Structure 1
């Protein structure tokens, strides 16, 4: 049975602008979070629509590779859902579905991350380190966009 873990991050960037980065300009992560993300390559589709597949090279303690498919996009409510289906993450988690939703909040936004996962076995740790990464990249992207 899948487990869901969530975090919320308050940022100063307007919701439309932050959402646009994750929908249409994800390679900006290479600039704002270069310590973590080394490359993002579109391997199927346009990289911006449902069904598109992207290959991520990133560092989370050690170098990792992940292939993700965009599962759902809702421009009105601003959630995007991805599933990781190939790579290092799948050695530890049989299901790894991630969603980000960006909500308007005053002059800024509330970024909601949700991770639905199934551990490959009981010895696998809860993916707290991934949630910490998502919080960190949210804050780094916020700072990057506010400087631009």
Structure 2
């Protein structure tokens, strides 16, 4: 029996969609500067900041624990302002067979709507949902928004 699931959240922000999307598309190196209590570092491991297939290594804090992961950029849709990342290594993979994270940004009359989607497959039914990762994405979204609105 497959243990595949999906989590989603929508977050309204005041920052323009293009600017927010560009942070996650090609300027991820800025995220540790604007969300340093959550993200301590991100480096390109293979490729570059904005090409599909590139691998990035993240250092982050979740529930008070210092963790790391590697992800690949799986899909980029510039027209729809969406990106999908696939986790390939890290502590999170001790619990999940697969974990993909997607972000899509839509312009609104005032600001934007950011949709985060986490698709995952548990290694067994006792593993909890990765709600903390969705919460982390929401908190980083608010930090990036604050940075963009202030700028």
> Following the alignment from structure 1 to structure 2, what is the Cα–Cα distance between the partners of residues 122 and 111?
30
Counterpart for residue 27 of structure 2 = 25
Instruction: Indicate whether 1:79 and 2:82 are aligned.
Output: yes
Q: Shift of the alpha carbon at 1:123?
A: 1.9
Matches of 2:134 and 2:100, distance apart in 1: 12
SS of 1:134 mapped into structure 2: helix
1-side partners of 2:19 and 2:110: how far apart? Answer: 12
CA contact (8 A) 2:27 2:49 kept: no
Q: CA offset at residue 63 of structure 1?
A: 0.7
Given candidates 126, 141, 145, the residue that maps to 2:129 is 126
Of 41, 48, 51, which residue of structure 2 is paired with 1:49?
Answer: 51
For residues 32 and 66 of structure 1, the distance between their equivalents in structure 2, rounded to whole angstroms, comes to 19
Counterpart position of 2:12: 10
SS across alignment from 1:17: helix
Deviations 1:12-34 (A, max 9, x none): 00100000000010121111110
Distance 1:14 1:118 in 2: 33
SS in 1 for 2:57: strand
Residue by residue over 1:64-110, the C-alpha shift from the partner in whole angstroms, topping out at 9 and shown as x without a partner, is 11000000001100100000011111001111000000000112100
Q: The residue matched to 1:99 in structure 2 has which SS?
A: strand
Q: What is the rounded CA distance, in whole Å, between the counterparts of 1:96 and 1:112 in structure 2? A: 16
Q: For 1:28, what is the secondary structure of its paired residue?
A: helix
Residue 37 of structure 1 corresponds to 39
Separation (CA, whole Å) in 1 of partners of 2:32 and 2:113: 22
Once structures 1 and 2 are overlaid, which stretch shifts more, 116-125 or 50-59? Answer: 116-125
- Counterpart CA distance in 2 for 1:120 and 1:33 is 30
In the TM superposition, what is the alpha-carbon distance from 1:140 to its structure 2 partner? 1.1
What is the CA RMSD across the aligned residues, in angstroms?
0.8
Gaps of 5+ in 2: none
Structure 1 unaligned segments of length 5 or more: list them. none
Superposition TM-score, scaled by structure 1 size: 0.97
